[in-house]
Every structure is written in structure tokens, then in C-alpha cells.
Structure 1
Amino acid sequence: MNALGALAAFAAASSLFCGATAARHSYAEGDKVKLWANVVGPFSNPSVTYQYYERLPFCQPLDGLVHKPATLGELVDGNRLVLTPYDIAFQQNRERVTLCSKALTRREVQQFQAAIRDDFYFQMVLDDSLPMWGFVGKLEKVAPATPAEKETHRISLFTHMHFDIAYNLDRVIEVNVSTDSSRTVDISEDVTPNTEDGTIRAEFTYSVVWSPTDIPYAQRMEKYRRVQFLPQHLEIHWFSIINSCVTVLLLTGFLATILLRVLRNDFLRFSRDEDAMEDAEESGWKYCHGDVFRFPPNHNLFCALIGTGTQLFFLGIFIFLLSCVGAFAPYSRGSMYTALIVLYALTAGIAGYTAGSYYRQMGGTAWVRNTLLTCVVFCGPFFIAFCINNTIAIAYGSTAAFPFGTICIIAVIWALVTLPLTILGCIIGKNTRTDFKAPCRTTKYPREVPDLPWYRSALPQMLGAGFLPFSAIYIELYYIFASVWGHKIYTIYPILFIVFIILLIVTAFICVAMTYFQLAAEDHRWWWRSFFCGGSTGLFVYAYSIYFYFQRSDMSGLMQSCFFFGYVACVCLGFFIMLGTVGWRASLLFVRHIYKAIKCE
């Protein structure tokens, strides 16, 4: 109950801190409703975003720029809200109000031209939490007048925005923005300036229409969930779950009818009269009992990986629970990033305790090295990728670059929370865990492993073990990638949680099967092998990300490529460590069970 209460408390705190439940603003007629501009950027490269007024010469407020204070998650997510000069009064319609009239210089025209060629979009936020999107302009092909002429393009800059706002009593419920294609300014390369000083005059205008609605305030974010609940989308999601369930049933059926039958025959053969067995040639998994519980090489690194994998497992479970209880509202601007940072820091003690306890059971003595490995085995590669990507983002001038203050906050969290909890967990695990109790006595010298065919080596087994779990989740992967690396929103977290549970079950079962086949061939080196077989699904996910980047998306450019492949590699590394831990733990339970069931001398 205490754990559930703490989780509920964190869900509430996360929602309040991250803006998942925005302040319930109420207005009287005529009150000003603030409209914030967030970012602009190329539509095909969602990671390449820029501050609204720094990248393009839009109409700025006369009193200077006013930035909205951002939470940790908003800064990590690249949000930079700044107040716009649009005068939007509650329940008051406006017809074509002039925002400003600008004489666009040649440089400003070139900025807009480049943005429109790259299909730039903008994002705005009304009433602190209602997002809307629109495009800066449009690019049209102009057919040549004669066959000898080349095809040209007409570049049009949108100069009018229309806001449709719905309200219920004294609260804003819904907002949509649209651009008028008939109110544009031609800024093509060959256009003639319309002023004497060689500039292009552009008048930026807007209009506002208010309309009442019956939608309650508590459901105003449901609009952003609807697209994911269309019948065709739900059919695909349910097909994914059915596909995964069939995979699980086939796998469990295989284990029940084949593996258990083989084990039963093994038990009968091993339980024969010892006199009858004297002349029989020793073969099978029983006869490597003196080595099967021999601790693996590099057990310091092994224990650090198991500890980190256990931490990532609980981190994933906590994130899914928060998602299912509604802690992450659609477009909550970084609430999940905040939860990930905070929960990763708070679960560091799990990694330390698990790594320290297993390291003690394996007779380890280099405790400082074990603790440091546990701290950096996942954070180290992630930090390297972050440094590279953040440097590139700074060079691009993108909002994806972390401010120096944000980096300091994260560093302080790691130094004052993650590191101490890892050390504390390691100390507790070292002092409280009992010795490793193996069902069989380990011999002094290891048994020689017989020569095995190539398909029983590590790499083929990893490929075979990773393909089946990947086949259970690959349909859902497209929606995840399209949400994280696109402009779609993923809201069906319960379905994703079911797929995650199926992934864990399939991974555990396939690792058990692979471990049995390895031991049946008298290869007792199953510790690392089971970890690699379980984690190999992460390699398939990364291979799918390469396919997604080149075949299912329009992403391009140095910054977008580095962000995509760098951070996806970090996520796949986390999956590798977590699923490897699941596979090893399932194999350990299986090995303990079968060797307890026979009499080993």
C-alpha cells in the first residue's frame, strides 16, 4: 500500500509540476487570453526546431519579448514559449485586425524563402495548454510557358491567420488556427519589389471567431486523442495484440509439448539404476552439473548490467503505470521527460542493490569498480551521445540544445540523487544478501566444452532468440516511432502496456528454450549467452529504426540524423540491458529448477 500511495502521489506531483493539468483559467468577457508562440521548424525533421522570433522575422511585440517560465521537462523537450502580440479578448470576435505592416528586406525575404522551401511549420499555445499548428507558406510549381523554359516555383508567404476558439461558460475549450491561401505575399526569386526602397511590403493580419460548446473543461484535451481512436487505428492496434498473443501461445505450446516432453524423458533416463548407467556414455545437460553454476567471466560487468537492467525494468513499469492512470496528458510539454529523469534518479538504489548483492554472491572484492560500473554502464554511452547531439544542436541554434542551467540541474540530480542512491543500494546489497545457493556443487576445474556446429554459436542463437520477441512488437513500433520522431500523438498506453508484458513473456520463454538447447549440448557457458539472447531484441529494434528512417519517414540532414540514430541507439541499449536481464533471470530460474529435480553427484 505504501508503494501504491507513493506512486499515486508522484503521479499527482508530476501532473502539477509538468503542466499535465494546466491551471484552470477562467475569464470574464473582454479579458485578454494569452497566445504563446513556441517553435518553428521543418515539418519532416521534428528534432530541428528553432525559437519563433529568432529564426523568422515575424511581427514582434512592441514592449519586447516575454518568455514563459519553463519546467525541466519543457526545456528537455525543446519548448520555448514567448508571448505574441495577438490581441485575443474572451468571447469577442475580430475581423481582419492588422498585426503589423512590415517592409521585408532582401535578407528577411531569403529567410522566409528558405523556410517555405523546407516546409516550415509553427506551433502556438493558447491558454497555456491548447496547442495549434500551421505552415509559414506554400511552394507551388509553375508550369513553363514554352517547352524551352525551365519549371519554376512560386513561393507564397501566408500573412493572415484565423483563430476559431470554442468556449464553455468562462473557460476556453478548443482552438484551431488556419491560414488563408488567398491572402499571401509573393516572395518568389523573380518577384519585383513593391516599394521604392527595394523591399517587399507585407501586411500581417488575423481574425478571431468565438463559438460556444458543450464540451466540459475536463475533456478539452480529448480532441488530441480522437485520431488514435479511429476504427481503423484501433483495428491495427488490436491486430498487433492478437498477433502477439498468437506468438505467445505458439511459443508456450512449443515449450509445453516439446521442451517439457524432452525434459520428462531426460528425468526418466537420469533416474535409472546407477548400475545400468555405468556403461552408458555420459551425455546431456545433467553431466555438466559441475559447471553450470560456475560464475561467468567478467562478473563485475555482468552484475552491473543485471543491476542496471533491473532498474530499467522497474522504471518502465512505473512509467507505464503513470501513463495508464492519466499522468501524461496529450501535448503536456515534457511531462514524461520529467518523470523519466526523476524516476531514473529515484530507482538508482534498485540498480545498486541488485548489482551489489549478486557481486557479493560471486565473491567479488572490487566494490568501488562495481559501483562505478553500475552508475555508468547505461549513463556513460547516453552521456556521450548527448554531448555530440547537444553540440550539433548548439551549432544549428536549435531549441533542442539544452540550456546550460538545464544541464546543471540534471548533473546535480545525478550527483546528489542517482550516485548516492546507487552507492547506498550497493552497500545494502553487499551486507544483507546471503550466499549463492546452487543445487549442485561446482567442480574445481571446468569441463571441456565439445565442438559445436556453427548454428549453436552465440550470434546465430542471438538472432534466433531476438526475432520472435521482435515479431510480437514490430507492428506497434511504427506508431511509437511516428509519435516520438514525428507529429503524431500516442495515447493508447494500456494497449502498449499489454504489448510490453507480452514482450517480457516471449523473451523469458525463448531464453529458457535457448538455454536448454545449449545445456543439452553440454555447453555450460549459459550466463552471458542468456543475457545476450534476451537483449538481442534491441538489435532488431535498431535495425527497424534504420528501415523507418530511410523508408517510412522524410527525415534528413546532419542534426536530425545524429539525433535519431544517436538517441535510438541509447534506447535500444536500454532495451538490450533490460531484456537481457529478463532473459537471464528466467534462465536462472529454469536452470535451478531442472537441477533440483535430479540427483547430482
Structure 2
Amino acid sequence: MWKRTMHLAVAALLLLFGVPGVASDASDHCYKKGDHVPLYVNKVGPFHNPRSVPHKLNVPFAFACILVDIESTVLLKLHSRTLSSSLVSHFCLCAARQHVTEKKEALGEILNGDRLVDGPYKLDFRVDRESELLCKKKLTKENVAKFRSAVSKDYYFQMYYDDLPLWGFIGKVEHDGKELGELRYFLYQRFHFEVFYNSDRVIEISVQTDRNTLLDVTDDKEIEVEFLYSVKWKETTIPFEKRMERYSQASSLPHHLEIHWFSIINSSVTVLLLTGFLATILMRVLKNDFVKYAHDEESVEDEEETGWKYIHGDVFRFPKYKSLLAACLGSGTQLFTLTVFIFILALVGVFYPYNRGALFTALVIIYALTSGIAGYAATSFYCQLEGTNWVRNLLLTGSLFCGPLFLMFCFLNTVAIVYNATAALPFGTIVVIVLIWALVTSPLLVLGGIAGKNSKAEFQAPCRTTKYPREIPELAWYRQTVPQMIMAGFLPFSAIYIELYYIFASVWGHRIYTIYSILFVVFIILIIVTAFITVALTYFQLAAEDHEWWWRSFLCGGSTGLFVYGYCWYHYYARSYMSGFMQTSFFFGYMACICYGFFLMLGTVSFHAALLFVRHIYRSIKCE
């Protein structure tokens, strides 16, 4: 029954997000000569700050927001709000074309920051064009200065032609060749589109610049600009089904694969070492303990017990803040299930390159559908710990992860609105997310909580708990919570940190990550290492006669999330060119939420591993 349910769930998700094949206005992607092929322009912004940046000129505005008159600002209503910008660009529409058509986008595309409108270029199917004039205007000194600022910040543009991505830079910076090496700023006036087709379908497109038509915008002076473009069609034998493969080739280059495999080998060695370390504990130390305790039971009991058997009457004493612990375990179980489903979709090919917004759509919908798992896991465990106020526990479970995420979103979305960035969600999208939470997430959470309450499962403790707890002896500094969290978090982090670079470069940069099979192997290694190191530290804690292992095991496993957040600081200052208040707030704000979810998920894994271990060792001895 469980396998059948899993198969149906996977099939439903595949139908929901679609199999490889992109939807466009021309749904079958088949055209005749002279047919209009949809070209949408998306966003313009600084290359090194693709999400958001501080200065208004640096924000990756929606393409329509940059439509301006050469001589005066044009106000355009985009996504129910009036926006304006004084940045002039030839890859935007000319001043006379003030009415644009917006493409209807899915939820995930909007969450991804895509704002597509129809482009000004005419790239009809198999129709060559030579030196087509887009517009011709005179730039004022102010506009020249703004162009120069955009060129200096490596402004790039992004378009989609028949759902194939293309991008380029608006200009370049060069040294003038003189002894002082003064910088000169040039604006591209002409773009050449090269389109490849196979029979009646578009296969590939690229855009190139003409170096012979550069416009010098170094000096603040009035100049005349003439924006041109040309189109050349070429035939190719590449089938339509393989037209997206070239976008994933960068991740599959030999030197990249070598680094990925080095990461896996490094992680595997870590796993083997930890496995051997744990095997030594279980086979030697525990065996000696079992022999010792068996011998003590047969001899005259004139000696006091020591070690982990000594605290058998306290080790299953319910922890403090058990409602919070149950809520953490419920949320962590949901996030673990969410991660597994995301990997399933990735491995079957749903998240192919430039499937815009598919990942965000999957995250929102799967999180909503798995909220019942959080309610069931939290309430069931809370009732096992003899909790009575399960309704409050359910509310805590529902808000434990969503609450901080909602507060962070409100702050960052306000910042994005102030900067007129595409990262600001429209009001309609926010309403849709709220409705999903109210009509799907909350009801499923309540149903899961009711099912967990009615499960009437009892906590399986092999030993009876004494009425009064024993006093914990004074422990060495390295046996305290914080040092053990550092030890427990460092080893799992060392197993994944190489792969983190590629993930960060994909999420916060322009790289494309496609090797999900390797990432899945790394994820499995991470789970194993986290569980092993937590079990080892739990044994040492119990051997030191410290019976408060419940929260310690959760914190030790979740501490890997703190190391990942520490890596964010290193990545921001050492490996990226991100800067400014908006980019900084988005990077550290959303990464804090991701690492928090990481903390809950790995903490849940480590706790359950420690619980199984503790139950096993105390079940193996005779306790009075």
C-alpha cells in the first residue's frame, strides 16, 4: 500500500510540473517560414549581482521598467504598480513603443524573479534580416553618464526566444592604450542574432556584437546613437529533443566532473573513517561494557555501578521543552520528506536547464502537501512524551519554520519594492501563496495532527525511569554542548563543502547545476555522517553519566547548518563580487532561512539515530 501511494504521488508530481518540453505561445514549437516566433525580454542588471543590488541604477529591473523615452521618462504600469527608470538602453523598446504585452507566468517563474514582456526584435522563422534599424536618437549628457555607469557595472540582458535563453552585455570597458592606461567605455550599437533550425523547429540561438559599431560613452557629451540588429538563419541536424543539452554541458566538462568526483571520494573516505570509528565503539567498547555489566550482575553487588548503565533510570526521562522538541522533529521530518521528493523530481529530469520556476513551484506545492507529515510526526511524538496540550503543539509546529520565513520574506520583499527590483513579488502572487497556506497547508497540518493524536502510540523505553533524577557530574569543557556541536557539525560539513561551491554559484550566480545524481550521493553521505557522529558523541555523553542527551543529539546534528551559514560569509567576501545592501540582505536573509531548515532536518535525522542507538544498548543489558 505504501509503495503504491509513493508511485501515485510521484506520478502526480510529474504531471503537475511537466516532463521535459517547454510551454510557449506556440505550444508545439512548430513553425512555417515567415511565422512569428515568440521572443520575450526578461531582465537587465549587473552581472555580479544577479538578484539585487543597492543603487537604483544597479537593480535588475524588469525589462519593461527600463522602457524610457530618450529625452524624458516614460511611466509604465507593470504588475499593478507604476514604475519608472531613467536608464536608456537599445536592447529595450524604443520610446515610440510604450505599450508592451506581458507574458502570463506561472507561480515559480514569478518567485524566480522573471518578468517577461514581448521584445522589439522581429525574428520571424527563417527570415534573414540585415542591418534593421531599431531606433535612432540623440543622447543627452545625463543619459550618456547613465550608460557609462551601466557599462562599468557589467550590465547584462536576458531574453527568451521560443523558450531558449540568450543573453549578452550592453557594452564593454577597455584601456585606451596610452601610458596612463585610462579606461574607455563603449556601448554596443548592433546585435547579430544567429538562429539554427531543424525542419520546422528552432534548435539554437545566439547573439553577438559588432565591434565595428561601438559607441564611445566615456565623455559627458551629447552624441547620436543608432541601434541596429540583424538575423541569420542556419540549418542544423540537432534534433528538437536535444536542444537543451548544450546548456548543461558546462557542468559536465571533464575538469568539473573531476572536482565533483573528488568531492565524493573525499566524502566517502570520511564516511569510511566514521564507520570504522563507530564499529570500533560498538564491537569493542560496548562489548567490553556488556561483559563487565554481565559479570557485575553475577558477582556480589558491593560495588557501585559506573558508566552509562549507572544512569539507566534517567536516560529515558522526558526532556525539558518537550513540546518544542516535538515541533522541531515534526518540521524536520517534513523538510526531509520535501528534500527527498525534490531529489526524485530532479533525478527524473524535471529540473532541466532553464525550466523557469520549476524548482520554486515544486518547493511551494510539495511543502504544502507534506504539511500533514509534520503534524502527524510532531503530535504523535508529543503524545508519546505524555504531552496534553496537543493543539498548542500543533500551532507551534506550523509556525516553527513558516513563521521566521514569513517575517524574512516581508522584510526582503519590502526592500525589493523600494528598489523596484524584479525580486519583489506582485500582490496577486502573495495572495496565491497565502491561499495555498490557508486552504492546503493548514488543513493538512490539522489532519496530520489529529491522526497523530489518535495513533495512541506509546514511547518504547527498555528501562524504567526513576522518580528523581540523578545529579550530573561536572564535565570537562570539551564535553559541553557547544564544543560537541562544533565537533559534530564540522565532519558532515567537510563532506559537502566542495559541492557547496557549485550550488552557491548556481543559486546566486549564473552557473547551471545539472549533475543531480552526484548531489544525491553527497546528500546520502551527509545523512550517514551526521547520524554516525551523533551516535558516537551520544555514547561518550552517556559514558560520562550525562543523561540529558535528547536536546544534545538534536543540536549536534543540526549544527551542520550553522557551518553552512558560516560558509555563506566566506563565499560572500572571498568568492563572489556581490555587494550593496539589497544583495547582502537577500543573500544572508534567505540563506539564513535555508540553513535554519537545514538545521531542523539534520537535527531530526541525528535525534532519531541517537534514539535508536540508546534504545538498542539499554535493551541489551539487564537493568533493575
TM-score, normalised with respect to structure 2: 0.92
Specify the alignment match of 1:359 in structure 2: 382
Q: Which residue of 1 aligns with 2:155?
A: 120
Q: Deviations over 1:110-156 (max 9, x none)?
A: 332221121110001001x10011001112233667x7xxx643221
Q: Deviations over 1:271-314 (max 9, x none)?
A: 11536252223210011111111111001110000000000000
Residues 1:10 and 2:13 aligned together: yes
Aligned to 2:469: 446
Alignment map for 1:104-503 (pairs within 5 Å):
104-127=139-162, 129-142=163-176, 152-190=182-220, 192-193=221-222, 200-274=223-297, 276=299, 278-503=301-526
- Conserved 8 A contact 2:137-2:225: yes
- SS of equivalent residue, structure 1 residue 155: strand
Is 1:80 the counterpart of 2:115? The answer is yes
1:53 counterpart = 2:64: yes
Instruction: Give the secondary-structure state (helix, strand or coil) at the position aligned to 1:133.
Output: strand
Instruction: Give the secondary structure class of the aligned counterpart of 2:42.
Output: strand
- Contact residue 338 and residue 370 of structure 2 kept, 8 A: yes
Q: 1:18 to 1:574 in 2, by over 3 A?
A: farther
Kept in 1, the 8 Å contact 2:129–2:231? The answer is yes
Preserved contact between residue 20 and residue 349 of structure 2 (Cα < 8 Å): no
Match of 2:564 in 1: 541
User: How far off its partner does 1:202 sit?
Assistant: 0.9
Shift of 1:201: 1.6
Number of residue pairs aligned between Structure 1 and Structure 2:
589
Q: Distance in 2 between matches of 1:273 and 1:95?
A: 95
2:604 alignment partner, SS class: helix
Query: What is the CA deviation profile of residues 495-527 of structure 1, one whole-angstrom value per residue up to 9, with x for unaligned ones?
Result: 100100110011011110010000000000000
Instruction: Say if 2:28 is the partner of 1:28.
Output: no
The Cα shift of 1:18 comes to 10
Shift of the alpha carbon at 1:107?
3.7
Match of 1:103, SS state, is strand
Q: How far did 1:384 drift?
A: 1.5
Query: What is the match of residue 197 of structure 1?
Result: none
CA distance in structure 1 between the partners assigned to 2:300 and 2:198 by the alignment: 84
Give the 3-state SS of the residue equivalent to 2:228 in structure 1.
Answer: strand
**1:189 shift after superposition:** 2.9
Verify the 8 A CA contact 1:34 1:83 in the aligned structure 2.
yes
Report the CA distance between 1:184 and its aligned residue: 1.9
Separation of aligned partners in 1, 2:297 and 2:356? 69
Q: 1:521 to 1:564 in 2, by over 3 A?
A: same
Contact 1:18 1:73 in 2 (8 A): no
Q: Bigger shift: 152-161 or 418-427?
A: 152-161
Structure 2 CA distance for aligned equivalents of residues 332 and 104 of structure 1: 38
Could you tell me how far 1:9 is from its partner in structure 2? 2.4
For residues 224-267 of structure 1, the C-alpha deviation after alignment (integer angstroms, 9 at most, x for no partner) is 01111111111111111111111111110111124431000000
Cα separation, 1, equivalents of 2:275 and 2:228: 64
2:573 partner letter = F
Query: Is the 2:20–2:352 Cα contact (8 Å) retained in structure 1?
Result: no
Amino acid at match of 1:134: G
- Structure 1 residue 53, shift from structure 2 partner: 3.5
Q: How far does residue 95 in structure 1 lie from its aligned partner after superposition? A: 1.4
Q: CA deviation at 1:481?
A: 0.4
| Aligned-partner SS, 2:319 | coil
Letter aligned with residue 156 of structure 1: F
Structure 1 residues 582, 18: closer, same or farther in 2, change over 3 A?
farther
* Alignment partner, residue 72 of structure 2: none
Letter in 1 for 2:346: S
Q: How does 1:91-110 map to 2 (within 5 A)?
A: 91-110=126-145
Structure 1 residue 13: Cα displacement: 1.7
Q: Is the 8 A contact 2:49 2:578 kept in 1?
A: yes
AA of the residue aligned to 2:11: A
Report the CA distance shift for 1:16/1:413 in structure 2 as closer, same or farther (over 3 A).
Answer: farther
Measured in 2, the distance between the counterparts of 1:499 and 1:593 equals 28
- Residue deviations 1:413-462, cap 9 Å, x none? 11111111111101110111311121000111111100010000000000
The Cα shift of 1:471 comes to 0.8
Distance (Å, rounded) in 2 between the aligned partners of 1:296 and 1:19: 52
Structure 1: tracts of 5 or more residues without a match = 194-199
- Structure 1 pair 270–81 and aligned structure 2 pair: CA distance change class (3 A): same
> Measured at CA, do residues 144 and 327 of structure 1 come closer, stay the same or move farther in structure 2, by a change above 3 Å?
same
User: Which AA in structure 2 matches 1:116?
Assistant: V
Q: Whole-Å Cα distance in 1 between the matches of residues 323 and 14 of structure 2?
A: 35
- Please tell me whether the aligned partners of residues 20 and 335 of structure 1 are also in contact (alpha carbons under 8 angstroms): no
Q: Which amino acid aligns with 2:100?
A: L
Distance 1:40 1:259 in 2: 59
Q: Supply the distance in 1 between the matched residues of 2:233 and 2:416 (Cα, whole angstroms).
A: 39
- Matched with 1:196 is none
Alignment of 1:495-514 (within 5 A): 495-514=518-537
CA distance in 2, matches of 1:458, 1:158: 59
Tell me how large the CA RMSD over aligned residues is.
1.7
User: Is the partner of 2:18 in helix, strand or coil?
Assistant: helix
The CA deviation at 1:532 is 0.3
Distance (whole Å) between structure 1 residues aligned to residue 118 and residue 477 of structure 2: 64
Question: 2: CA distance between counterparts of 1:374 and 1:114?
Answer: 48
Q: Assess if the C-alpha contact under 8 Å between 2:20 and 2:350 holds in 1.
A: no
Offset at 1:365? Answer: 1.6
Q: TM-score, normalised by structure 1?
A: 0.95
Are the counterparts in 2 of residues 94 and 208 from structure 1 also a CA contact under 8 Å? yes
Deviation at 1:59, TM superposition (A): 2.9
Give the distance between the partners of 2:515 and 2:239, measured in 1 at CA.
Answer: 22
Question: What SS does the corresponding residue of 2:514 show, helix, strand or coil?
Answer: coil
Change (3 A) 1:20 1:301: farther
The match for 2:105 among 63, 66, 70 is 70
